[in-house]
Structures are given as C-alpha cells and as structure tokens.
Amino acid sequence: MILCGGSGTRLWPISRTLMPKQFVKLFNEESLFQLTVKRNQEVCDQQFIVSNAEQYFLAYDQLEELSMTENRFLLEPIGRNTAPAIALACLALDKAELVLVSPSDHLIKDEVAYADVLQKAKSLAEEDNLVTFGIMAEYAETGFGYIESNGEDVKAFHEKPDVKTAQKYLDAGNFYWNSGMFCFKAGVFLDELKKYSPEIYKFSKLAYENAKNDGMIRISHEDMMAIPEDSIDYAVMEKSSKVKVVASDIDWSDLGSFDALDEELPKDINGNTKCKHLYTVDAKNNFVYSKERAIALTGVENLIVVDTGDALLIGKKGESQKVKEVVKQLKEADSELHHIHLTAHRPWGTYTILENNDNYKIKRIVVKPGKRLSLQKHFHRSEHWVVVSGTALVTVGEIETLVKPNESTYIPMGEIHRLENPGKIDVVLIEAQVGSYVGEDDIVRLQDDFKRN
C-alpha cells in the first residue's frame, strides 16, 4: 500500500500541492514515487496506491513510464491523514491479506537490507502483530518522531523532540526514528482501529460502502469529510498492545528538507550541487536547483538556491525548515505559488503559462495522443488557439473542425467547445485567453472522460 499524500511544503518551490515531492524527478529522471513502486515490486505481489484524486493522473503517468499500470487505486477527494487512508484501503482487502504500508516520498538506498527487514516484519505480522519500522538513529534529529523500544516490543512513541531531548534519546541507544512504514494483516489493523478509534472505523466503513468502484475506488467528498482526521500513530499504534518494531538500518531518508536533499545529490569538486546551468567563482558547498535558468554564484558558501521559473528561494543551509513559514505566508496572501507550477499536469497532457495578466493569459498546451479535454464553456473569456504541431480536432458548438499546424480557431465567450487529439503524436498549441477574468476556475464541464467535476 503506497500512500501518496502530502502537500509539498518543505521542498517548496520545487514541490507544490499539485506536484508534491514524491512526483518530482530528482534522481536520474526518476521520482521518489517511481523508486518506491520499483523497490516494492520486488517484494509484494500487488501494489495498492492511495492517492489524492487530483494527483491520480500524475501517479498513473509515472506508472506508464515504468510499464507498470496494473495496480489498484483508491482516490481520496481530500486528505484526512494516514489512519483513514489506510483504513479505507484495508476495507477493500481480504482480512487475511498481509499489507506493507509505505509512504511514496522516502528514499531507501540499501535494498538488500530493506528486503531483510521486510522478512522480519512479515514473520511478526503473520503472528497478528502491528509492525512498525524503526530507523537506526544516526544523530540527534529534531525533525522526526521517535520510537522507544525494548527489543522488538514498543514501549512508547514520542513526538518530535528539542535538541537536548533528541540527544538524550540518541545516547540511550533504544530509540529509533519513526519511519512511517508499517506491516500487518488488513483485518488485524481494522480490528485494532475499531477498538481504539471507533469513530474513524465507523465512518471509514460507511465511506467505503458508499464509494464508487469503476476500476478504481472513489470516495465521495461528503463521506471523506465525515471521517475524523488522525494519524495511524495516534489512532492505533500508540494505544494497541500488539505493536512490534523492526530495527531498520536501510540507508533511509524522508528528504524532508533541502538540507536532507543536499546529502543525496552529486557534488562538484567545491561541494556545490552538480547542475549544468550553474557557474561558480570562489563558491563552495552550495545547494543549487535549476532546470532552465542559468545561475551564477560568486564568493558565497552554504547557500540554498532554488529556481523554478515562477519562484526563487534563497536561504542558508541548516535553516531550510523555515521554508514552511514561506508557504504559510503564500497561503495567507492567497497566492497560487504554493499550489501549482507554471506547467500544470492534467490527465490529457500539460499546460504551461507563458504570460498572465488581468485581462489576458497565454498558454502552451500539449494534448497527448488519443486524449481530449472536457466538453466545456467559460463565462468570462474567449479563447484563440493556434496549432504548432500535430492535428487537433476542435468542437465549437455543433461544428467539428480539424485544425493543422499554423492554422487557428476562435472560441467565443460562453460557447460550448472541446479540444481533442485524434492522432499519434502530441498536439501542441498556443492558447490566448482574453476576458474580464482568466482564472482557472472559470470552467463549466459538461462532459469529461476523466470523471472530474
């Protein structure tokens, strides 16, 4: 069971709500989600992916790249933390099914050791235990929760400590970082959830029974909101007497900050992140991320520099957790910068905002072969489309027209329309929106292949 939640606050501006860190391709053009799927394919018979409905198409596209689309999906309209997510998925399984729960945004580099600890967890789970994985603590980390153990028995779970307490845990030798990974029988987990968090169990069961199941399980927004929000730790693990821990020395990182990410990426001879767009003079030990724009550093050390086209972050190493406060300010300012990149991924392809003004917006739209946008209309804008490559099938009102490269079409305000790619290569077009309001929410979907509202 792969959990794809997360809002992307700690690695902003690389990570956004609609492109959280697990889907960003940080490692040899592969994402953490893809690495998680590949890693667990080796040890699990089937993969069950629990995802936010808006991120489903990101997950599916990345599975297509791996030729691994035969997976089960459960889609949540809104996150209610890990206890409801795991409960809903377990309700869809046989009670005797052995489940490995894994976040999708963690990096595990020692896969031999990983397979070994999974075997230990499997043996314990087969004896009707709830198994958690404790990461061998390497230093006094204040950003993780801790598991206090007595051998395989869990004595207590502890919240993120201050520095003094974290050092005390490290010195004690029987404290582990809480990895957020678990192994148990689906029925054992549900029984313990019913015992210790009956309201979560009750409303999760109701939500599952009311869910649509059309090849994937879709939970309704109303039913999801009725489920109390809580983590698996609070709801079950801290209360159950059946909890065991497996000590796990697996070269693990949750990549929860730019400082953590900096540890994993290759460096040049001066300790700067290797980046083909980076130019340095007397600059050392800087973390730099840029996909397009050239960055030059002179005479600086220990900086974090992240450029994503629509946002630039500059900070000091050792203080990257403060990025969360920036995201908080963006939300308070009602900015879209925490939510979406200039390039947005949609089930039919992508769009990139080239220019945005009060009364007009210019986009580059890419529609994948065989895909089409919803049948829709807008109340506040008209649209001009110029095809750059491929051949588009355009519906305006009752009329369908093939629009070829260097040809254009016009969509009047309020007119029903649709864009489709009937060909075998991408359709690329430039869209110019003109109107009194050009926000993304000015859209009425009349028909949609992807069952979006």
What values do phi and psi take at 422, rounded to 5? -85, -5
Which CATH superfamily does the domain covering 2-253 fall into? Answer: Spore Coat Polysaccharide Biosynthesis Protein SpsA; Chain A (3.90.550.10)
Dist CA 32 CA 107 (whole Å): 7
Nearest CA to 369 out of 428, 405, 422, 419 is that of: 422
The tens-digit pLDDT sequence of the chain (453 residues) is: 999 977 668 899 999 888 899 999 999 899 999 999 999 998 899 999 999 888 888 898 899 899 887 889 999 999 999 999 999 999 999 999 999 999 999 999 999 999 999 999 999 999 999 999 999 888 888 888 999 999 999 999 999 999 999 999 999 989 999 999 999 999 999 999 999 999 999 999 999 999 998 888 999 999 999 999 999 999 999 999 999 999 999 999 989 899 999 999 999 999 999 998 899 999 999 999 998 899 999 999 999 999 998 999 999 999 998 999 999 999 999 888 888 888 888 889 999 999 888 899 999 999 999 999 999 999 999 999 999 999 999 999 999 999 999 999 999 999 999 999 999 999 999 999 999 998 888 899 999 988 776
pTM of the full structure:
0.87
**Does the fold of domain 343-447 match that of domain 2-253?**
no
Dist CA 83 CA 73 (whole Å): 17
Alpha helix (H) ranges present in 42-142? 56-65, 82-91, 111-126
What residues contact residue 255 under an 8 Å CB cut-off, 6+ apart? 11, 21, 32, 105, 106, 107, 261, 264
146-150/175-185 β-pairing:
antiparallel
CATH 2.60.120.10 fits 343-447, yes or no: yes
Q: Where are the beta strands (DSSP E) in 70-211?
A: 72-76, 98-103, 107-108, 130-136, 146-150, 153-158, 175-185
Sign of torsion over alpha carbons 9, 12, 14, 17: positive
Domain borders along the chain are 2-253, 268-322, 343-447
